[in-house]
Amino acid sequence: MLKRSLGSLEVSVVGIGCNNFGARLDADATKDVVDAALEAGINFFDTADIYGGTKSEEFLGVALGARRSEVVIATKFGMPIDDDHFGAEPAYVRQACEDSLARLGTDHIDLYQLHAPDDRVPIADTLGALHELVTAGKVREIGCSNLNVAQLREAQAAAGDGPKFVSVQNQYSLLARDPERDGVLDACEELGLGFLPFYPLANGLLTGKVRPGQPIPEGSRLAKMPADRSAHWLGDRLQAQVGALINYAQEIEVPLLTLAFSWLLSHPEVSSVIAGASNPDQVVANAAAVRKLSTEQIAALNVLTD
């Protein structure tokens, strides 16, 4: 498995998004996915304190066990766990980190990420608390999620001589190309950030299993999604793009899954594609879905999804 740099970390170009752990997957099923990932050479696991009602971190830590030193663990703080646990105030940042360390069963977090901006708190204050955690050895690198260009630049300036964000995690896929248009990808190059795309498979639309005009596969994320959310993914524009991508994949005899992963990784700013998996077969498929695309193939994909 190829690796790319993320600050001082080296992460596999395919990672595991752990939002299924503790939600769709129990502890045993989580271990099956983790075992398959390690066997496939994946070393990067991205979770959050809110995933699985806080169970994701716990299940991940148990599944890794003595193999903790072999992997890079990323987790996040800031989204509401309940009415009392949320935000980016320094005291909460410190407590959230302690709570995540306990759930993960580890003494350090490799990449600790602000899950969303908190307009109530100056970013300098949040960064100060994160600096303390890095100095204490509880966190190796820090990152962020759902920040725009202005917020990224503000954070870079506010960090001063202290630790700076090394990553930003925003939505990005063939079907959601906003980071190209809103300047976040360019800002990554400017500020030296690694980009981590979430929803890289567009909630399953880019797996090749969802075909326009056909029933949504039972048990899939889209099938279980509330109608008000799935309406976006099943709308006419995205369905037309999916149909065009499926036709192109068949034409060049490359699986759509491979095109989805490899197109993302054709952007040097992307450090790792962190996709969720609900069983070992999906892990194996994701791990194998990376190849170098030709300039012509990348151009064609850009046109089909413009």
The catalytic site residues sit at 51
Q: Name the residue type at position 37.
A: A
* Nearest in space to 142 (alpha carbons), one of 110, 106, 98, 112: 112
Residue 71 neighbours by CB under 8 Å, 6+ apart: 38, 43, 44, 45, 64
184 and 148 in contact (C-beta within 8 Å)?
yes
Hey, is 43 helix, strand or coil?
coil
For 208-232, letters b (16+ CB in 10 Å) and e give bebeeeeebeeeebbeebeeeebee
Hey, is 169 helix, strand or coil?
strand
